[in-house]
Structure 1
């Protein structure tokens, strides 16, 4: 069973909110299917099967306009949930319907090549040292690559376009190498990770604000293959 947890600035999220109906064993299961990279709703096929015998087996689609869905399930039951959408890796999990159940978050990753995942990674100013609060984001990438052992990525480093072009290029190189080192130190094979530095040559924006500069200073993961 492969359970994905990315925060990339790139995939799909299925968010469940369960509300018990007074005086009834039924609860309402609500959620959305969204693109994790651009927050765009998609038409996903969702299969729900009660466990262990599959007596309640349903297939339905999320609304392609807003990604929402809603249906009823029985409290106390366990269900297998399977999501599929064209061009994306499937997500499968088992859930148990309990009172006051916490929201469940699932993320799907596009299966096609050249998909870009924007990672929320912060570095010490003008250095390649990764700030500790970024480790959780990198750990999600590790979980993804562990769940899909055939996946290969290219880490792409960017800086803001202001300043010395050569210094920006060098800094972006050092940062992607530092990210790669973190991944390999956690068990991801080095040959599954390529690196490429762009310096400030590919800015997201040319606005002269601190927010714009932060957007331009980034490391992204491009999926080269998934299987």
Structure 2
């Protein structure tokens, strides 16, 4: 019969292995590539990341790509900086992880010179990291970094007028979906206006579930259909 201290060691060792395994299984990995938006060439950049909302976990990476673990089901804000390019900010949500438990977010960088010419009339940009509370118009604070990119773009392009276009999935009541998309684009407009952007430079339009990107009846398709897009009307 094994001594008590050996039994205790084996029990603690087993618990440690189990705990480590559970933690490893639950970790989601954030990954992405950094590239020039015009040439598609890789760009060497400095990538800073921090967990939201308090920044309890943070780090810095350098290179043309990034990879880091997302612990405790927390959202993360990333900031990408490279010489000669405008700063890019994104919010990564573990809920967007694929089947391999990875959140993929490539980062196209635009030149920091001649910013105005980079944005053409009619261009549509999808706010990929804009998150709302379920079935509500309240914006998740983790979305602020991406909205701040829009604010900075409008400050740099003082003649720019945009239209925010709200979409939901096509499930449920059509009138409720239309109303929800109206409230959501209004909430985005209010945030941008709160950052000293004139409200007459921001138009809104709601589509409800009438313009889905996908007709597949899957959670991923429904998530893709729920979106806010930014259309440049004047610049």
TM-score norm. by structure 1 comes to 0.55
Using CA pairs under 8 Å that are at least 6 residues apart, name the structure with larger relative contact order, 1 or 2: 1
Tell me which residue corresponds to 2:36: 33
Structure 2 vs 1, CA of residues 164 and 111 (structure 1 numbering), >3 Å: closer, same or farther?
Answer: same
Aligned length: 138
Q: Deviations over 1:91-136 (max 9, x none)?
A: x949xxxxxxxxx983257432110010021100000000111011
Tell me which residue corresponds to 1:220: 229
Matching of residue 111 in structure 1 with residue 114 in structure 2: no
Where is the strand percentage greater, Structure 1 or Structure 2? 1
- Secondary structure in 2 matching 1:178: helix
Tell me which residue corresponds to 1:146: 155
| Structure-2 separation of matches of 1:172 and 1:183 | 17
| Structure-2 separation of matches of 1:123 and 1:146 | 25
| Structure-2 separation of matches of 1:219 and 1:195 | 10
| Structure-2 separation of matches of 1:116 and 1:69 | 24
- Deviation >2 Å, runs of 4+: 32-35, 66-70, 104-112
| Structure-1 separation of matches of 2:187 and 2:148 | 14
| Structure-1 separation of matches of 2:233 and 2:140 | 27
Q: What residue ranges of structure 2 are gaps of 5+ in the alignment?
A: 1-32, 45-82, 86-106
Tell me which residue corresponds to 1:132: 141
Deviation at 1:147, TM superposition (A): 0.9
Q: What residue ranges of structure 1 are gaps of 5+ in the alignment?
A: 1-13, 16-31, 36-41, 43-65, 71-91, 95-103
Q: Which has the larger radius of gyration?
A: 2
| Structure-2 separation of matches of 1:69 and 1:138 | 23
Where is the helix percentage greater, Structure 1 or Structure 2? 2
Deviation at 1:211, TM superposition (A): 1.1
CA RMSD of aligned residues (A): 2.6
